[in-house]
Amino acid sequence: MCQTAENLTDLLFPRRCPLCQRILTQKGELICEACAKELPYIKEPKCMICSRPIRDERKMLCGICENKVHYFIRGDCTFIYEGKLRDALMRLKFNNHREYADFFAAAVAAHAKAFLGEIHPQVLLPVPMNRKKRKERGFDQCALIGRKISERTGIPIQTDNLVRIRYTRAQKGLDAAARRENLRGAFRVRRPEQLPESVLVFDDIYTTGATLDEVSFTLRQCGIRQIYFICICSVLN
C-alpha cells in the first residue's frame, strides 16, 4: 500500500486501542498508554512447563503439569486470560477485528524473546481451524497472528502443512477428559518431510493443554521430538 493510500485509510478508519477502543493518535501505536500499563502479563511464579501462573511460590509446576506428561517439551504464554484483554481477543475472533492482530503479535514476540533465544525453533506452526469453522468466521486467527509473529521473529512459518481433518465442537465448557476425546485424531501433517527437528506451535489460548498435546502427538508420529509452543493467553490455574 502506498503512503497516500495508507494515510487515507488511517483517516477514514483510525486504529483503535484493542482494550478500551480509544482512537490511537500516535503513528505506529498499537495500544493506548493507559491500557499498556494495565496489561495482565504472566509473571513469576509460573509453571516451568506450560507457563501458567501458579500461586504457590514453592512449586515449579501447575496442578495439571504435576499430574500429566505432555507430548510437547514446554512453552511460553504472554497474558492471563482475563478482563479487557480477554474481551479484545474475543472481538478479534468473533467480531472480525483483524486489525488487533498486530498488537497481539507484537506482544507475544516481545514477551517470548528470551524463550525463543533458548530453544531456537526452526519453524512456526499455527494451530489450524477446521475448514468449516474458517469459512464461517472468514479467517483463521492463529494463521493471521502467526504470520505477523513470523515477520517479527524471523522464524519461518508453515500455514498449510499442519491441518485439522475433522470438525470438533468448541472446547469451552468441557472437562479435561472431554477435551482430549474431542480432539483425538483431529490433526494431520501433509508433508512430514518438510518439518525440521525443532518446531514451535502457536495457539491463542492455553487452557488444559489438550489442543497442544494432540498437535504435539501428531508431530511425534512424524518423528519430531523438539516441540515447543507459544500462546497469547493462559487461563489461571
Spatial CA neighbour of 147 closest among 190, 101, 193, 189: 101
- Residue-wise pLDDT for 81-106, tens only, equals 999 999 999 999 999 999 999 999 99
CB contact at 8 A, 124 and 156: yes
Contacts of residue 210, defined as CB under 8 A and 6 or more positions apart, other chains included, come to 171, 176, 179, 180, 182, 183
Contacts of residue 109, defined as CB under 8 A and 6 or more positions apart, other chains included, come to 149, 152, 153
The average pLDDT across 96-119 equals: 97
Q: Are strands 74-80 and 198-206 parallel, antiparallel or unpaired?
A: unpaired
Share of the chain above pLDDT 90, in %: 76
Amino acid at 212: L
- Residue-wise pLDDT for 134-160, tens only, equals 888 899 999 999 999 999 999 999 999
Q: Is the pLDDT of residue 13 over 90?
A: no
Q: What is the distance of C-alpha 127 from the center of its chain? A: 8
- Residue-wise pLDDT for 38-47, tens only, equals 999 999 999 9
Report the largest interatomic distance among the alpha carbons of the chain, rounded to a whole angstrom. 57
Predicted confidence at residue 154, as pLDDT, reads: 98
CB contact at 8 A, 157 and 146: yes
CB contact at 8 A, 129 and 140: yes
Contacts of residue 17, defined as CB under 8 A and 6 or more positions apart, other chains included, come to 23, 24, 31, 32, 35
